[in-house]
Amino acid sequence: MAFEEKQAWALAVIAVAGYALYVVLVLTGAAGRPLVDAPYVTPLLWTIGLGIVAGIVSGIWFGIAARDDGLQADERDREIGRFGDHVGQSFVVIGGVSAMALAVVEAPYFWIANVLYLSFVLSAVLGSLAKIALYRRGMA
Amino acid sequence: MKPTKVTNSIRALRFARDEMKQADLAAAVGVTRQTLIAIEQGKYSPSLEVAFKIARVFGVSLEEVFQYPEEE
């Protein structure tokens, strides 16, 4: 498996796991109250922070594991990377527009923050899945 | 995704070269082994530069490595 494909798998898993943890923490924190009253800022910041750290650590880990493999990325990896980033970018835009719409109607901060977080997660997961699909099925 | 219409003779050329390993060819060309495998299997069409480098390693013309069959 290519170094960059391992990275894509790691990013997808980290993003899903981090968001799942966040959802569980917010739902348990709500404790029967309306969701908008649930404490979400601390779980949000922690899961985003841990996700970033986990992404860096996994990159270092795979880098060390592949240190004797010679070249780790080439023109194909860069093409696949650009395509995956393009797919992921579209979800960031959708999230930004959704957050703007929520702000215009003066929706609670809870929903604005959460729609942005969800768009980041979808961007990471679907961008990574697009890369994995190209690695597996080819891009001729 | 449909496989490329471009076919190649890399596998045959490698075997004609004392069963040259994919890793050795990849290193000579400057791509990863995974990319060389994808090219050989027709899952990735390389850039012209990489295509020329592959032909140069085998000492043959580009069309002896890559072929683009006429449409039927």
Quote the ipTM score: 0.83
Q: How many independent structural domains does chain A possess? A: 1
Q: What angle do CA A35, A37, A43 make, to 5 degrees?
A: 80
Residues of A with CB under 8 A from a CB of B: 1-3, 5, 69-77, 134-135, 137-140
- Average pLDDT of the residues in B42-59: 95
We report the CATH number of the domain holding residue B40 as 1.10.260.40
Tokens at A87, concatenated: 């797919």
Cβ atoms within 10 Å of B8's Cβ, excluding its own: 20
Confirm whether B69 is domain-assigned. no
Tokens at B65, concatenated: 């490595």
Task: For residue B6, list chain A residues with Cβ-Cβ distance below 8 A.
Answer: 140
Q: How confident is the model at residue A70 (pLDDT cuts 50, 70, 90)?
A: confident
Range of the domain at A63: 3-137
Q: Looking at CA atoms only, how far is residue B57 from chain A in angstroms?
A: 18
* pLDDT score, position A138: 85
Confirm whether B57 is domain-assigned. yes
> How many whole angstroms from its chain centre is CA A7?
12
Task: For residue B33, list chain A residues with Cβ-Cβ distance below 8 A.
Answer: 69
Burial classification of residue A18, based on how many CB atoms lie within 10 Å of its CB (0-12 exposed, 13-18 middle, 19 or more buried): buried
Distances (CA, A) of A27 to A22, A32, A35, A99: 9, 9, 7, 21
Residues of B with CB under 8 A from a CB of A: 1-4, 6, 26-27, 30-35, 38, 41-47, 50
Confirm whether B70 is domain-assigned. no
Instruction: Give the three-class secondary structure for A66.
Output: coil
Task: For residue B35, list chain A residues with Cβ-Cβ distance below 8 A.
Answer: 2, 74-77
Distance CA A12, CA A133 (A): 13
Answer whether A138 sits within 8 Å of B26, measured CB to CB. no
Cβ atoms within 10 Å of B2's Cβ, excluding its own: 7
Confirm whether B42 is domain-assigned. yes
* pLDDT score, position B69: 82
Confirm whether B71 is domain-assigned. no
Q: How confident is the model at residue A72 (pLDDT cuts 50, 70, 90)?
A: confident
Distances (CA, A) of B25 to A24, A111, B39, B49, B53: 50, 54, 12, 15, 10
Span A6-42, pLDDT tens digits = 999 999 999 999 999 999 999 999 888 888 889 999 9
Confirm whether B2 is domain-assigned. no
Task: For residue B45, list chain A residues with Cβ-Cβ distance below 8 A.
Answer: 140
Q: How many independent structural domains does chain B possess? A: 1
Range of the domain at B31: 7-62
Give residue for tokens 């400057």: B30
Q: From the list A3, A71, A140, which residue is nearest B3 (CB)?
A: A140
Confirm whether B27 is domain-assigned. yes
Span A96-124, pLDDT tens digits = 999 999 999 999 999 999 999 999 999 99
Residues with Cβ within 8 Å of B35's Cβ and at least 6 positions away in sequence, in order, are A2, A74, A75, A76, A77, B26, B44, B46
Confirm whether B68 is domain-assigned. no
